[in-house]
Amino acid sequence: MQQHTLSHPTSVTGIGLHTGKIATMTFCPAPENYGYIFQRTDLAGKPMVAALAENVVDTARGTTIEANGARVYTVEHALSALIGLGIDNVHIEIDGAEPPILDGSAKFFISALEKVEIVPQNAARKYIEISEKIEYIEAERGVHLVIEPAEKFSLEVKVDYNSPVLLPQTASLHDLKDFAKEIAPCRTFCFLREIEMMFKAGLIKGGSLDNAIVIADREVSEAELGSLAKLLQRPAIKVQKGILNTLNLQFENEPARHKLLDLVGDLALTGGFLKAKVTALRPGHLANTELAKKIRMLIKN
């Protein structure tokens, strides 16, 4: 398999989930063996940040990378789209701190990338082959990630939040060719109880019911719905089948599929395409990126 890049630049514009600021992100062609590098065009000197696990500095509700005095927040959805389409080398210009959240999935990144041609390069793809079983465990939270040697990249994700609404779910991906259709459209989600906490923490300034699935796993009073509507700048909010908006789930296991999407994006921080089987119970950005760091250490050694 050859390495691939883009024939021409292609852009997306929108609000950032946590910063609440509008930014334009442009995916540009890049030379062989370049990988994925972000460039903050809004900052003096236009510093660059390589999308590598050792540059991860925060994993609170998204993956943040930093280098050369510049940060880029919530990189996982864009990176998952690049991996999902088999693109090895891209220079990513962004005129703000955070990529657009769009609808909370990777669907619109896929659409933007597919507007231009994905072209082969002369160099062969350098696969990251896992030679031994690697684990990441957080026993107190029931988190367990395992990556094992395999001939190709596959993932299985299981989520269980002890919720009466969001029941235990499993999602799997056995061929990256299925990513764009089966995984990319799946939106981010959170629980109703987390919203106020995240607002107080200075997060989700760009969050809305248009870019996230909000799960109400308890009874919600009309007064509380009114307060939430004001907070989220909506005329009214309803709860239907435990979901805090009227959007229908695109798949019965859409939350599990989104966790798989995040995992693909976070594992892109290993710096290449994996040949490995990944099994993940209750994955999250901290666990995902810690696993990616372990893989990076093995590569360096």
Rounded to whole angstroms, how far apart are CA atoms 295 and 263? 14
Helix 107-114 to helix 76-84 angle (10° resolution) is 50
H runs (alpha helix) in 157-241: 179-182, 192-200, 222-231
Distance CA 18, CA 97 (A): 10
Which residues are within 8 A (CB) of 151 and not within 5 positions of it... i.e. 6 or more apart?
Answer: 275
Q: Measure the CA–CA gap between 198 and 139, rounded to whole angstroms.
A: 24
279 half-sphere exposure, CB direction, 13 A CA radius: 8
The secondary structure element, H or E, covering residue 250 is none
Report how far apart, in Å, the C-alpha atoms of 169 and of each of 13, 231, 275 are: 32, 30, 25
Pairing of strands 154-159, 143-149: unpaired
Annotation marks residue 4 as catalytic: no
Report yes or no: 179 and 70 within 8 Å, Cβ to Cβ. no
Q: How far apart are CA 169 and CA 191, in angstroms?
A: 16
Catalytic residues, by residue number, are 285
